[in-house]
Amino acid sequence: MALINRLIAKAKSILSFLNEKGFIHLLTVNMFSQLLSFITLMLVAKFLPASEYGDLKVLQTYVNIFVVIAILVSIPQPSNYAPKTDRMKNGPRFFRPP
């Protein structure tokens, strides 16, 4: 019985930690959006002919590719956070000032 109580306490502490970090919120939002997109997909597939549905999926693929490219471009490089003097001191020997 003591083992079960320890396991329950450990599980509660892990869940509270995840809740503090916002993981539970992100998980539920992601699950809800996936469910909503699945239901929408079923409704759209029912009402559109196959050729128009295929065109819609191709358009969605292009949009997803552009979104990924936009996200990758907007991520700043870690080297932008360090001053150039620190990078020159700590960098490889051939980049250090004489």
Q: Tell me the pLDDT tens digit for each residue of 29-59.
A: 888 888 888 888 888 888 888 888 888 888 8
**pLDDT reading at 60 higher than 60:** yes
pTM: predicted TM-score of the whole model, two decimal places:
0.44
Long-range contacts of 91-97 (CB under 8 A, 24+ apart): none
Structural domain of residue 63, as residue ranges?
Answer: 50-98
pLDDT tier, 62 (very low <50, low <70, confident <90, very high otherwise)? very high
Q: What is the pLDDT of residue 19?
A: 78
| 24/4 same-domain check | yes
Q: What is the pLDDT of residue 17?
A: 83
| 55/95 same-domain check | yes
| 41/55 same-domain check | no
How many domains would you assign to the chain? 2
| 33/63 same-domain check | no
| Percent of the chain predicted with pLDDT > 70 | 74
| 37/55 same-domain check | no
Please give the C-alpha separations between residue 92 and each of 11, 51, 86, in angstroms, as whole numbers: 47, 57, 12
